Each structure stands twice: as C-alpha cells, then as structure tokens.
Structure 1
Amino acid sequence: MPFENLLLSSCLLPGQTYFKESKASVKVEPLAGETILFFNIDDQSNPGCKLRQFFWGIEKGQKMCDLMVFYAKDSKRVICFVELKDNIGDLGHATEQVINTYNTFKVHLKKSYTAKAFIYACAGSLPYEHEEYQRELLKAFGKNNFDFNNRSNDALGDLLRGNPPQIGGGKRKNKK
C-alpha cells in the first residue's frame, strides 16, 4: 500500500495531532510551516484501518505499532513509528512492534524520508537498564532517530524536529 493510499484510508486522523490509547497519550503542537499527520494504523484500536491485512494478509501474530506520524517542514520528511504503553516495562514488546512495522513498511515505500521510532509509557521509570532495546532501535533507526520516555512534554515533537532527547533538563544521546 503506497503512502498515498494511507492518506485516503480510515487510518488517517484528519486534523488531529493528539492520540490516546488506554492511559498513554502523545501530542504534538505544530509550529509554523510544519505538516503533521497522525495515522492510527493498529487495527486493534482502529478496525477500519486495513494496513495489517495489506502487510501480512491473513498471517497471524505479526507485531504492529499504534501510530505512524508523518512530519514535513521545508525539504525534511520524517515517518515516525509510535507505540504507546501503560508501563515502560513493556519496552521489549514495544521495540519489537515499531521495528517490525518499519521493516515491513519500508519494503513498500522508496527511501525518501527519515525513519524514526518513539515509544511512550505513562508509568514506570526511564529504562536505562534496557540497553539491549536501545541497541536494537539504534540498529533499525540510527543515532538520534528514536526515543522512549514517560514525560508529558513535547518529546515526540522534539524527535520529529531533530532536537536531541531531554531528561531532567540535560541532553541525552541514544546509547550504542
């Protein structure tokens, strides 16, 4: 399914830059000159979206993230794969979901964009101990192209715009 078909499907959330699933939510406040599109691609929460069927047909058990967010400003194009969790303890599952969705998606779209991943959990501490998942995300998306947190600020917006992840007012680089 080309990206154009996603724009015309029920996956697109027109005019929305906020998404909530269970207790977790993300929001991006668009700045001047930015285009931000949210796509609710998980058919568990959006039965009208048929992206899972397009990707995997009737095959069961494939992991898929909740959202794809398209970001554009000037010549910059970003597609961000987003997973929301109630607890950061689900980081391993979330990592698998964003990587699996991206790996399947990129087969259907030429690489004229920057791929990123964002995992948000509304509870739990930041998972410094989860270096294995950081390495997996680094390998799939590259340095400074992923973030996971449980802050309620504009962390997703910062990631889309290319601003380094922030923790407690200090800069944190994605660990290798």
Structure 2
Amino acid sequence: MPLNNLLLSSCFLPGKTSYTENGVEINIKPSSGETILFFLIDNQSNPNCKLRQLLGLEQEGMKICDLIVFYAKENKRIICFVELKGSDVKTATKQVITTHIYFKKLLKQSEPSLSFIPKAYIKSNSSVPQEIDKYKQELKREFGENNYDISRNSDLGNFLRDVDYQPRGKSKKSR
C-alpha cells in the first residue's frame, strides 16, 4: 500500500510543515485537531525515496511532483500533490497530474475501499503566464472544482482547509 510505504520510507519528513527548493517555499501552520504530513517524493531532491519506482513512473521523461502533503481533520482526508516551480507552470501541471493518476491507480489496486480528496497546488515564484487558464482547465478536469491552485502564495493552509482567499486590505465586515 503506498501510504504505508510513504510513512515508513525516507520520503516522510517527520515534524516538517514547510519545504523549500531552489528558493521556492511552501508551508502550513497546523491548527488544533489537524494532522499534516509532508512527503518529499521527487527522486532528484530525495534519491532515497522510491515512490517513483513503486508508482511505475520510471520511464524516461516521466516526471513526478515534489511533495505529497497529507491533511486530515475530523472525517476529511486530503492528499495534495505539490510542485514548487520557478516559472515552468506547464511542466508543473503535467507533474501533479501524472503523479495523481499513478498514485490513485496504485491505491485502488492495493486498497480499493480507501477514499480521499485529491488536490493539486503549484507554487510558482514567477508572474503568471498568459496560458494560465489552459493549465487551470487541465487541473480542474483531473482534480475537480476548487481542488487545485496555481499561486505565488507560500501558505498552503487556506487551500487545504477550503478557506476562500481574501485579498490583503479587504476584510469581511463583522456584524
């Protein structure tokens, strides 16, 4: 089962709720009652993680995303496929979709009764490319409405918790 393999492997980053690669960072501050687990699955950043082989993504040219973030609170279980990119959003989109497809396939083979909400988060430090709508449509087809984001925001918390983004300076009026 992939989750057991992740927990017992060098992919698991115990106690970590942030990760930085090539100057691109992602983080989340856990709230009460939440379980958050980070798994560094990209074999270029973490050569000891063998998830790529387990998923069957060993063919040349196939890329895997950087992280899997497991989020749980009460009955909600989310597996978020995260890619940290400087600018190549097209490749990042392909990486999170490919990883999700193969992960879901392996999970169904090993334990068909398990269910989770799949999400994808692409953190990019560059300005958004003009083709962003095309990539968002691809992510929407794979992950569903409100289960994907391409963002410059390092904080993953609101996305995983399904909290609507509030632009700075615009607070909700209290009554």
What TM-score, normalized to structure 1?
0.87
Any unmatched runs of 5+ in structure 2? 171-175
**Residue correspondences, number:** 165
Q: 1:102 aligns with which of 100, 118, 123?
A: 100
Q: 2:149 aligns with which of 147, 150, 153?
A: 147
3-state DSSP class of the match of 1:159?
A: helix
- Structure 2 CA distance for partners of 1:157 and 1:56, relative to 1, 3 Å: same
Per-residue deviation at 1:164?
Answer: 2.8
Q: RMSD across aligned C-alpha pairs, in angstroms?
A: 1.7
For residues 76-124 of structure 1, the C-alpha deviation after alignment (integer angstroms, 9 at most, x for no partner) is 000000000112xx111000000000000001114510000000012x2
Are the aligned partners of 1:144 and 1:164 in contact in 2 as well (CA < 8 Å)?
Answer: no
Per-residue deviation at 1:125?
Answer: 2.0
- Structure 2 CA distance for partners of 1:97 and 1:114, relative to 1, 3 Å: same
Q: Which residue of the partner structure matches residue 113 of structure 1?
A: 116
CA distance in 2, matches of 1:103, 1:71: 19
3-state DSSP class of the match of 2:43?
A: coil
3-state DSSP class of the match of 1:106?
A: helix
Per-residue deviation at 1:165?
Answer: 4.1
What TM-score, normalized to structure 2?
0.88
Larger radius of gyration: 2
Any unmatched runs of 5+ in structure 1? 171-176
Q: 2:137 aligns with which of 128, 135, 158?
A: 135
For residues 29-68 of structure 1, the C-alpha deviation after alignment (integer angstroms, 9 at most, x for no partner) is 0000000000000000000000111122642211210000
Per-residue deviation at 1:129?
Answer: 4.2
Structure 1 counterpart of 2:29, which letter? Answer: E
Identity score, percent: 52
- Structure 2 CA distance for partners of 1:131 and 1:44, relative to 1, 3 Å: same
Per-residue deviation at 1:159?
Answer: 1.1
Per-residue deviation at 1:151?
Answer: 2.6
User: 1:21-100 alignment to 2 at 5 Å?
Assistant: 21-56=21-56, 58-87=58-87, 90-100=88-98
CA distance in 2, matches of 1:57, 1:159: 27
Per-residue deviation at 1:126?
Answer: 3.3
- Structure 2 CA distance for partners of 1:36 and 1:73, relative to 1, 3 Å: same
Per-residue deviation at 1:166?
Answer: 4.7
User: 1:156-167 alignment to 2 at 5 Å?
Assistant: 156-167=156-167
CA distance in 1, matches of 2:129, 2:168: 14
